[in-house]
Amino acid sequence: MPIGIVTNGVILRTLGKINAKIYASFGVNFGRRLCASRRFHPACECDCPACIRYYNFEGDPTAPYPVNLDSHAPALEIGAGFRAFLNTGTDPTLAATGAFPVASTSAEAGLPVNVAVGDPGPNDVSLGIHRSGRDQLYIDIPMFSAQGIYDVTSVSFAIGANGNGYAFVSLLISTNGGTTFTQIGATQAIPNGPGTTLTFTLPAGTTLNQPTLVLRLAFTGGQSNGVDLQNEIDNIQVNGTIVPEPATVAGGLLGVLGLCWHQRKRLIRSVRFRRT
């Protein structure tokens, strides 16, 4: 990617003068990736500038589960194409053995912590967990790309615990599409209480150049097989930057240059008309 050319300021200043309507014509994803990378315009404003994905469980349920599993605004990537998956298994470092049981989930009231800045949702819903002692819960987030464009630097979420649910949570990543996983950082204990934010941090560059990246939040140490509400999970934020793929960068810059050339021709015609 021609970072040196962009950061010299010529194209950067041009981008800064493009009005919102013209900027939108380059495509929503390109615009969002410009904001995400911050290599193109340091003053670029997004509602959630470092939030690549955001799972607040609001909206129509994702069958067969009672909550919505899509990524939502104000994340840079939203919709069903960026969905999370609820899985289970016996070893978080290995591939999931199946889907997490639907009967062990419920839709509960939203948690008022770790809500993304700019979240337009009402924060009505969280993911409720029951029977934690029977199955481990893996929240798997695929982040596939042609060239490994995601530089994830933190994963955070809100969790409520009623004293008999999951005791621990770990962050793992897979670089082979979910066949095996490697733990990042230390396992964290889940504190009891109505709502706490837990955060995992990753060194910059850890997930770059990994085309088949999958993130996993592994909840383990379940303490009860009862049907009572044991945990609530909400407002998962995957933060970091998106490094645009070369084709995306080239297409966007060519669009900018084409626009400048078109405006130059219009200006010349306008000046000639006034002289006559």
Q: What is the pLDDT along the chain (276 residues), one digit of tens a residue?
A: 333 222 233 222 323 333 333 223 333 444 444 444 433 332 333 446 689 999 999 999 999 999 999 999 999 999 999 999 999 999 999 999 999 999 999 999 999 999 999 999 899 999 999 999 999 999 999 999 999 999 999 999 999 999 999 999 999 999 999 999 999 999 999 999 999 999 999 999 999 999 999 999 999 999 999 999 999 999 999 999 999 865 544 444 445 445 554 455 555 455 454 555
Give the span between the Cα atoms of 175 and 17, in whole angstroms: 39
With CA atoms as reference, report the closest residue to 195 among 238, 155, 228, 232.
232
Task: Report phi then psi at 214, rounded to 5.
Answer: -135, 130
Omega before 120 cis (within 30°)? Answer: no
Q: Can you list the positions of beta strands (E) in 82-181?
A: 85-88, 98-99, 105-109, 125-129, 137-144, 150-161, 168-174
With CA atoms as reference, report the closest residue to 160 among 103, 228, 87, 234.
234
Give the pLDDT confidence score for residue 100 in this predicted structure: 98
The half-sphere exposure of 151 on its side-chain side, counting CA atoms within 13 A, is: 13
Place of tokens 């070893």: 91
Give the pLDDT confidence score for residue 264 in this predicted structure: 52
How, if at all, do strands 193-201 and 125-129 pair? Answer: unpaired
Give the pLDDT confidence score for residue 244 in this predicted structure: 84
Give the pLDDT confidence score for residue 50 in this predicted structure: 81
Give the pLDDT confidence score for residue 32 in this predicted structure: 47
Q: Which domains does the chain have, with CATH numbers?
A: 3-43+250-275 (no CATH), 51-242 (2.60.120)
Q: Are 233 and 56 in contact (CB under 8 A)?
A: no
Q: Are 132 and 179 in contact (CB under 8 A)?
A: no
Report the 3 state secondary structure along 206-261.
CCCCCCEEEEEEEEECCCCCCCCCCEEEEEEEEEEEECCCHHHHHHHHHHHHHHHH
Q: Are 159 and 219 in contact (CB under 8 A)?
A: no
How far lies 46's CA from each of 77, 96, 158, 200, 213, in Å? 12, 35, 22, 23, 24
